[in-house]
Amino acid sequence: MAKPGVANPGNPRCAALLIAAPSSGSGKTSVTAALARRYIKDGLRVRAFKIGPDFLDPMVLEEATGAPVYQLDLWMVGERESARRLYEAAQVADVILVEGAMGLYDGEPSGADLAQHFGLPVAVVIDASAMAQTFAAIASGLLCFRPQLIGGVIANRVAGERHAQMLLEQLPHDIPFLGSLPRLDDAAIPERHLGLVQAGEIGDLGRRIDAMADAWRPRPAPVPMRVEWKPVEKVAPPARLRGVRIAVARDAALCFIYRANLELLEAMGAELHFFSIIEPTLPECDALYLPGGYPELHATRIAANTAMKDSIAAMHAAGRPILAECGGMMCLAESLTLTDGTSHVMFGLLPAEVTMQTRLAAIGLQEAELPEGRLRGHTFHYSKISTAMTPLARATGNRDGAPGEAVYRTKRLTASYVHLYFASNPEAAAALFLP
């Protein structure tokens, strides 16, 4: 670890750290947010990223850093685009923090693969709440699995100073101890069935992050080693959407939107107009984007929103483009049945019934070959759809090509559980919204 210090503006040797864990639930988001805020309090400029398809964790990291947070992924985002994002961040930051996904070695490609590809040191977050000497054994095992990858370990949810000291004493000398974070019940970030509660729903999120940053030990936090970032030229996308007005649902019900998707649409010339699916007014538009989210938590209000239902139905009847992903597709079904058995009549543009489950129905990276072109993305949902519709296409898994989610189309309405990453094929993405 380097000594704390502020780098010169535009320094391509910005410090970086990939924060991983042995498994999900270890507290990666809390640790990343706490460390980011700690660095900021220490006078450093911070940029953060999230590995893989995730909408909720970046919301927390944006609150922690006060800066945009983008995805990195060797498959969905791609090596070149990931490299460009990292290089651009290095021009304005002193420290780059990359939050991993799942366990360090989980997935294809994994967080470990991305770290090795870009030469990022890895800090492993280990939940130490119910262990002592075993902490060192887990750290040693992770290091031995892929030598030279681990840059240090972080102890999360420690019971106190004595507990942290015990963990440090057992750790092999060749594994740096980067810090610890105590269990702070009043600063914990609440969760629900798809992950963390949205940052905007946590009224005191800033206070919680500050509390974690203030509890971080040691202070100042050690700065990770610097990484040599190679310049990557930004390629301008085609201006296929110049003047096209796209209404984008963005509220508590439909909120799963990649920041990169919105920026790409604007870069291609689109005019974005945001609205709420639970409010009556749909902006005047040429195309409609209904992303995923939590329609099941707002089903009563969505079902009662007849003005919005009529407006979207009129768009569909007129043959205007509509893209509905996951939660957006659920809103357009005939009905949505919740886990308590309550059924709500939805907008009815798709002859389908959606039923919520208490268990995960699907998860994974997928790509779909559409008439517009091949697009990559991911799926992650707790509901199931029942329909007699014949799919336009069926997505396939990134790892083995196994059959994935169905993609439905009626007129210009395209609907699927797949959350598309538009930059994987800008031309195809633009074609989905062209009037």
Beta bridge partners of 125: 154
Q: Which of 255, 285, 326, 331 is catalytic?
A: 326
Q: What residue ranges do the domains of the chain occupy? A: 15-215, 245-433
Contact 289, 323 (CB under 8 A): yes
pLDDT at residue 15 is higher than 70: yes
The pair of three-digit structure tokens given for residue 121, joined into one six-digit string: 């040191």
DSSP 109: T
Q: Which of 23-27, 214-218, 228-232 bottoms out in mean pLDDT, i.e. has the lowest?
A: 228-232
In the prediction, which pLDDT does 359 show? 94
In the prediction, which pLDDT does 330 show? 98
CA atoms in the 13 A half-sphere facing the CB of 186: 4
Q: Which of 166-180, 282-296, 413-427 bottoms out in mean pLDDT, i.e. has the lowest?
A: 166-180
Cis peptide before 12 (omega within 30 of 0): no
Q: Could you read off the pLDDT of 100-137 as tens digits, one per residue?
A: 999 999 999 999 999 999 999 999 999 999 899 999 99
Beta bridge partners of 249: 275
326 as an active site residue: the answer is: yes
pLDDT at residue 10 is higher than 80: no
pLDDT at residue 6 is higher than 80: no
Q: What is the mean pLDDT of residues 138-156?
A: 92
Q: What is the mean pLDDT of residues 54-63?
A: 96
Buried b / exposed e across 396-420, counting CB within 10 Å, b at 16+?
bbbeeeeebbbbbbeebbbbbbbbb
Q: What are the backbone dihedrals phi and psi of residue 427, each rounded to the nearest 5 degrees, phi first?
A: -60, -45
CA distance 242 to 223: 44
Architecture of domain 15-215: 3-Layer(aba) Sandwich (3.40)
pLDDT at residue 51 is higher than 90: yes
Q: Which of 160-174, 242-256, 275-289 bottoms out in mean pLDDT, i.e. has the lowest?
A: 160-174
CA distance 285 to 412: 14
Burial class (CB in 10 A: 0-12, 13-18, 19+), 371: exposed
Q: What is the mean pLDDT of residues 153-167?
A: 94
Q: What is the mean pLDDT of residues 68-95?
A: 97
Average pLDDT value over all residues in the chain = 94
pLDDT at residue 275 is higher than 80: yes
183: left (phi over 0), alpha (psi -120 to 50) or beta: beta
Over its C-alpha atoms, the chain yields an Rg (Å, rounded) of 22
pLDDT at residue 326 is higher than 60: yes
Q: Could you read off the pLDDT of 300-312 as tens digits, one per residue?
A: 999 999 999 999 9
Q: What is the mean pLDDT of residues 222-229?
A: 89
Q: Could you read off the pLDDT of 339-367 as tens digits, one per residue?
A: 999 999 999 999 999 999 999 999 999 99
CA distance 109 to 62: 25
CA distance 31 to 370: 40
In the prediction, which pLDDT does 192 show? 87
Residue length, the chain?
Answer: 435
Q: Is 30 helix (H, G, I), strand (E, B) or coil?
A: helix
Please, what is the end-to-end C-alpha distance for the chain in angstroms? Answer: 53
pLDDT at residue 393 is higher than 90: yes
Q: What is the mean pLDDT of residues 245-267?
A: 97
In the prediction, which pLDDT does 246 show? 98
pLDDT at residue 221 is higher than 50: yes
* Per-residue confidence band for 12, with pLDDT thresholds at 50, 70 and 90: low
In the prediction, which pLDDT does 228 show? 87
DSSP 283: P
DSSP 277: T
pLDDT at residue 424 is higher than 80: yes
| Distance (Å) of CA 389 to CA 172, 188, 373, 410 | 59, 44, 21, 9
Beta strands in 56-135 (DSSP E): 70-72, 95-99, 122-127
Please name which of 330, 331, 294, 326 lies closest in space to residue 312, comparing C-alpha atoms: 331
Domains 15-215 and 245-433 share a fold: yes
Contact 289, 274 (CB under 8 A): no
Q: Could you read off the pLDDT of 172-184 as tens digits, one per residue?
A: 988 999 999 999 9
CATH of the domain spanning 245-433, picked from 3.40.50.880, 3.30.413.10, 3.40.50.10190, 3.30.2130.30:
3.40.50.880
Please name which of 140, 180, 139 lies closest in space to residue 162, comparing C-alpha atoms: 180
pLDDT at residue 2 is higher than 80: no
* Per-residue confidence band for 3, with pLDDT thresholds at 50, 70 and 90: very low
At which residue do the structure tokens 């604007």 appear? 266
Question: Reading across the β-sheet that carries 95-99, which strands appear in turn?
Answer: 70-72, 46-51, 95-99, 15-20, 122-127, 150-158, 177-182
Q: Is 412 helix (H, G, I), strand (E, B) or coil?
A: coil
Please name which of 251, 260, 258 lies closest in space to residue 281, comparing C-alpha atoms: 251
